[in-house]
Amino acid sequence: MGLSIDGLSSGLDTTSLINSLMTIEAAPQTLLRSRAAAVQSRISALQGLNSALADLATKATKLTQPKALDLYSATSSSAKVTTSVGASASAGSLDFTVSKIAKPQVSVTQKMLTWPYTTVTITSGGGEPVTVTPATSSMDDVVTALNSAGAGVTASKVAVGGGEFRLQFTSTATGAAAAFTIDDPDGTVGLTDISLAQDAEVKLWAGTAAEQNITSSTNKFEGLLTGVSLTVSEVSETPVRVTVAKDNAQITKAASDLMSSVSGVLAQISTKSTVVASTNASGAAVASGGIFTGDSTIRGVNSSIVSAVSQPIDGKSPAEFGIKITKTGTFEFDSTKFGEALAKDPTATLAAVTTIAGRVADAAKQASDPATGLISSKIIGQQSTAKDFTAQIESWDDRLALRRTTLQRTYSGLEVALSGMKAQSAWLSAQLAGLSGSSQS
């Protein structure tokens, strides 16, 4: 902290005077700070653009993969049969009837107040017996012990009136393999099967020489059609047809998403390159550019992406596939036009999307590659500049601190000297006054 020397002898506001001088001295550092802030803003803008370009490159690259647009959906003629489609699906259809639904085994005891044995021994799924020892013979303790044992069976206490209960045992899985038995050496438990464990079953090509039954321990059937899963929920002798076909809606969405990403990158460049007209304090018209205004590298990246999308594909304009360039250099995706082209010539339309995606991926990678990308290199250069500014600003901090100390010492010395002069003046005045009194005497 500096010494307080205000008005020691002169009555001047020395601190304010020094601060004013320091403001002038710090002008070069203030300019450096302003330039450093501008560089940081530019770095942030470049990083945002680079991230968007990297995302675009990733998305576009995915669409160039051999199966990227080989998209299918499956439909069922029955609401009781649902479908899901995987990556390996292909066009086709299948008719079948649903003979059985997968069920768990459900068995109940006769009425009882307590469990008649000290243990419960369960054999589930043809495996080794599991013996559970409840804390007591109470129905609640039996339920708790069994449900904690992981024996493939759950238990529930069911009130049946008159203060009596039955235990209901249910296999934790469906399918014939989930069947279980419970040891009852004295026949006291009297287990009754309410529902037998069974597999789901569908019948293919019913009524023909090729008729075949397919079973599943769950109600889900995998791979009846390649890449397709079927889930049945109700027995039906009425044939159900599952049809797998190209999913044009998904293909259209993939193309639309790519164009949205392209438009997002171009919009980011455009927004930060726009020159804005305004007026200054005196009313004169002035123009201020965006952070990318006049940057040849940014213009080159913009141009390469526009070219990647707008160039013809095998002599055809992208507009024939619903991809239109506007007067402002952005793109619009016409999903209706794309859908029509897809229906008319799916091979050419898919090839067009793949080609455009490949060109966009190349352009985006050239700009955003971490090692060699145009924008990445520019960011590194700007970060180096920012580092230099930081070093210069820190150097100025030391220089200005030394200058302030020097000024404080200088003005402190001046105040001390002025104080001494005042003291000497007072002494001389006193001496002169003494001499004058002596003469009069």
Query: The domain containing residue 158 runs over which residues?
Result: 106-195
End-to-end Cα spacing for the chain: 56
What is residue 1's predicted lDDT score, i.e. its pLDDT?
A: 43
Here the contacts of 142-151 (C-beta below 8 Å, separation 24 or greater) are: 142/115, 142/167, 143/167, 145/120, 146/120, 146/122, 149/122, 151/122, 151/124
- Which range, of 2-16, 56-70, 102-116, 129-143, averages the lowest pLDDT? 2-16
Please tell me whether residues 153 and 8 are part of one structural domain. Answer: no
Please tell me whether residues 266 and 365 are part of one structural domain. Answer: yes
Residue 185 lies in a domain: yes
What is residue 324's predicted lDDT score, i.e. its pLDDT?
A: 92
Residue 426 lies in a domain: no
pLDDT in tens, 365-420: 999 999 999 999 999 998 888 888 888 888 888 888 888 888 878 877 777 777 77
Please tell me whether residues 289 and 241 are part of one structural domain. Answer: no
Domain end call among 153, 169, 195? 195
What is residue 403's predicted lDDT score, i.e. its pLDDT?
A: 83
Average pLDDT score, the chain? 89
| Alpha helix ranges (H) inside 180-295 | 248-271
Residue 388 lies in a domain: yes
Please tell me whether residues 172 and 211 are part of one structural domain. Answer: no
Overall pTM surpassing 0.85 (yes/no): no
Is residue 295's pLDDT more than 80?
A: yes
Please tell me whether residues 240 and 373 are part of one structural domain. Answer: no
Quickly list DSSP for 128-172.
--EEE--SSSBHHHHHHHHHHTTSSEEEEEEEEETTEEEEEEEES
pLDDT in tens, 255-273: 999 999 999 999 999 989 8
Residue 424 lies in a domain: no
Please tell me whether residues 322 and 261 are part of one structural domain. Answer: yes
What is residue 191's predicted lDDT score, i.e. its pLDDT?
A: 95
Q: Which residue has the higher pLDDT, 144 or 294?
A: 144
DSSP 8-state assignment for residue 179: -
Please tell me whether residues 173 and 110 are part of one structural domain. Answer: yes
How large a percentage of the chain has pLDDT more than 70?
Answer: 93
What are the backbone dihedrals phi and psi of residue 202, each rounded to the nearest 5 degrees, phi first? -120, 150
What are the backbone dihedrals phi and psi of residue 169, each rounded to the nearest 5 degrees, phi first? -110, 135
The tokens describing 396, both together, are 């100025």
What is residue 8's predicted lDDT score, i.e. its pLDDT?
A: 56
Band the pLDDT of 2: cuts 50, 70, 90. very low
Please tell me whether residues 191 and 118 are part of one structural domain. Answer: yes
Is residue 303's pLDDT more than 80?
A: yes
pLDDT in tens, 121-145: 999 987 899 999 999 999 999 999 9
What is residue 115's predicted lDDT score, i.e. its pLDDT?
A: 94
What is residue 26's predicted lDDT score, i.e. its pLDDT?
A: 80
Domain end call among 195, 216, 232? 195
